[in-house]
Amino acid sequence: MQIKKCIVVVIMLICVSCTNAFCSSDSLIHSILLRLNEMQVHHEPYFPQGLFPSYREYARNPGRLKKDENIFFTGLIGFTLKRIRPQLSDNDKLLCDSIINRIAIVAPKFKNQAGRNTYNFWATDTPKIFPNAGWLNLFDKKLALADDFDDTSIMLLALNTTNATAEEVHQLMQHFTNTQAKTAKTTLPVYKNMGAYSVWFGKKMVVELDACVICNTLSMVQTYNLNWTKVDSTSLDFLVRMVENNDYILHPGKIAVIYKTTPIILYHLARLMSIKPIDALEKLKPLLINAALAEYAKAATLPDKIILRTALLRWGVAKEKEDIFTSDISTAVEQEKDFVFFIANLASTLPAWLAFPLVDSGITRFYFYSPAYNDALLLEYLVEQKKYDTNVLTN
């Protein structure tokens, strides 16, 4: 009888502990959403209404940040909010919807001006190769970036576009792959003849292969239940082979020419796999989990730890809590200066004979930051952790 009472007490303590944790998590989730709402509405007039502030840093001039008017981070925040919305409270769902609605209002500024349902990294109503870039803006029209797969897939997902539009864009994507007239020269030799998706829609741009861009493209295909094409299958094969060959760990900069790091590749793979299972990737899950645990052990930044924890949760693995995950974690995440989610090369707009030596040299490399997106990554992790804890408690 005494043993039964002890068991009941233990269960009650566990439930109380979990309830307190959920309340604390809910409070932090709500505060981050309020912070995102504030950053989107009340910021410097340089950024159009609805856009989240982001900044870039020239690799050869570290420490000097310039404001950068792009849709990339704003789209990612919208995409993230769409995904976590079902797990939010009713009040937080309303806050989430307000943020996404403002993104929808600013989105046309970055949409293809010829009417195509594709998106550009930078504004298309006033083309610029690098906003707020001084003398470089003299070349805005001549060297303006083409629309890209990443921003297009992300924005279509963030704005919850129709299946018809997603299918239309998907068909367009079939014409912009590696080996169609041009071949990627910055990837590893073993992948050069793979007809996977390129990064860019524009035919004047160099062809580049990036595992994370492919993950985002296939995420759109999976979310909208589109029929898989030969290019989809080849692109998936690119992802499978990079894991089997361990190249995403040994050569992440060659496998993901824009995102560059193993933790970010793992994060994208887990996000793609969480939409619905893909057999070829599910078979690799043990390898991916071990890689994520190894990367976590040596992670240098807080956001890296957060995205790796999120990836592991999506693969059914929970890391123990650390002292760094305190009530002021949002401030720490926002202020993190060593976490670079996205890297761009001005050389991508140049002819191939000139572009690739410059890409490899790093002379035209720029790092991009967004405090708001760092917050969104933390928010996503908190929701995934809460969902995991709830499932553990109820099962």
Q: Residue 152's pLDDT is what?
A: 98
Host domain of residue 112: 2-394
pLDDT digits 0-9 by tens, 193-207 = 999 999 999 777 778
Q: Residue 10's pLDDT is what?
A: 33
Place of tokens 């995934």: 384
Q: Residue 127's pLDDT is what?
A: 64
Helix (H, G, I), strand (E, B) or coil at 95: helix
Alpha carbon distance 319, 312 (integer Å): 8
Cβ burial of 112 (10 Å; 0-12, 13-18, 19+) is middle
Q: Residue 1's pLDDT is what?
A: 43
Helix (H, G, I), strand (E, B) or coil at 58: strand
Distant-in-sequence contacts of 323-329, Cβ < 8 A, 24+ apart: 327/24, 327/28, 329/28, 329/302, 329/378
Number of domains making up the chain: 1
Q: Residue count of the chain, please give it.
A: 395
C-alpha pair distances (Å), 142 with each of 71, 118, 131, 139, 367: 21, 20, 14, 5, 23
Pairing of strands 342-345, 55-58: unpaired
At 148, give phi and psi (nearest 5°): -130, 160
**Which residue positions in the chain have pLDDT lower than 50?**
1-23, 135, 137-140, 142-143, 353, 355
CATH number at residue 247: 1.50.10.20
Cross-strand pairs, 380: none
Alpha carbon distance 167, 214 (integer Å): 16
Q: Residue 142's pLDDT is what?
A: 46
Q: Residue 42's pLDDT is what?
A: 76
Element (H, E) at 234: helix 230-244
Helix (H, G, I), strand (E, B) or coil at 367: strand
